[in-house]
Structure 1
Amino acid sequence: MKNILKTTSLLITGFILFASCDENRYRKYFNVKNNSGKLIYWGVSHSYPDTSLKSIVNIPGKNTAYKIYPGDIYAFTMSMFSRNPTVQLFIFDKDVIENTPWDTIVKYNMILKHYQFTESELEKMSWPITYDEN
């Protein structure tokens, strides 16, 4: 009975400490919102200061998970910053990704938008990244 009481007390104390943590201090994700009226694709690079498309980790392509539909939000894990303190996010037009060979996209730098940011810069922006065609 004594062990059950100790275990229960320890679990309750741990839960109270966990629940009282500042949510933003231990953030695990950041969001990208597509405020445009069209489907977009994304690609990420951890090779800053190299800003070329050659360094994109997973090449976006037709029928992949690298899509953000109009009005949708995509959550990225903060573990992206473990490789490099500056992460680069590239936004691509749907028609370009689905109809243009990747080497042509790279050669002509066919992107809609390029973002680069550190974790502290995201904190200053209150974390969301919004793509709105501008």
Structure 2
Amino acid sequence: MDKLLKAFQEFYSENSEVWLERFDYKEAGPHLLLMAFLQRVINGGGRINREMAVGTGRTDLLIEFNGDKFVLELKLKRMPSARQKGLDQISRYLDTLGMTKGYLILFEIKPSSIIPWETRVKWEDISHQNKNITIVEM
């Protein structure tokens, strides 16, 4: 999953602005681009579950591929609290699923003229509430 998400970071930084301007509902654009990118790769050997019920919440994506499961929580960086809320959410989902590893994907919504790509593309592995979470920013 790490390689796939790093490839998506590169794809997104090179192509997102052209694609995102086509969406009428701007906030859905980053999510749809990620799902389309993942579907293209996973299509033959896995499944992408969207908005899957996990306890009392819904994880954005639960990917099943080659016998492994990956939880992805997607957030738009509208508010400074998006990161913390996302970390807390994914930790709860991982607890419910009995998993210890997940991915928090944060999409910057400001244009690259304000926040350049060199500063917005980030990859960070952290421990949060006894869970290993990879934070993928773009």
TM-score bucket of the superposed structures, by smaller chain: under 0.3
TM-score, normalization: structure 2? Answer: 0.26
Between structures 1 and 2, the one with greater helix share: 2
- Between structure 1 and structure 2, the one with the greater Rg is 1
Q: Which has the higher contact order (CA 8 A, sep 6+)?
A: 1
TM-score, normalization: structure 1? Answer: 0.27
